[in-house]
Amino acid sequence: MPSWLSRFLARRPKPEIPLKGRRPVARVKAYSAMSGYVYEYTYLGYRDDPEARVHVFNVSPDRKSWRPLEVNIPNESLSVWEQTHERTLNEAERYAVAKLALFAAFDERTGPQDLLARPVFVDAAQVAGLLDSIDL
């Protein structure tokens, strides 16, 4: 292989893993955060990385600009809850954890720049707290 071709192929970004669980028609929903901002969001789907399930939401703080926001739920965080309660979480319950973590980020982060600056990471304690809030 020519050296220029190998350099070109080495610089090419890795392909994104396609998202699963996407609805055929996106439903735009709104959330009034404790910070006073009203965010709109849609669910884009999820992907299973080797160490976590990543749920991707499209978020808008102003109805004009939309940016993806990832909610990362490590498999280890879910397995702690599952071992404690001696059962596995189904797909709807995993989605509930992601959506409740998104709402918590809306409430806890100070504004749109802070919210969209970094992904949301959910640890084992947060998983337990979020599932307790919906009586699971």
How many residues are listed for the chain in this entry? 136
Check: CB of residue 52 under 8 Å from CB of residue 74: yes
- For 93-119, the pLDDT digits (tens) are 999 999 999 999 999 998 898 888 999
- For 6-30, the pLDDT digits (tens) are 666 666 555 567 899 888 888 999 9
Its pTM stands at: 0.85
How much is the pLDDT for 15? 57
Over the range 72-99, which residues count as b (16 or more CB within 10 Å of their CB) and which as e? Answer: bbbeebbebbeeeeeeebeeeebbbbbb
- For 28-52, the pLDDT digits (tens) are 999 999 989 999 999 999 999 999 9
How is the chain split into domains, by residue range? Answer: 14-133
Cβ–Cβ contacts within 10 Å for residue 45, how many?
14
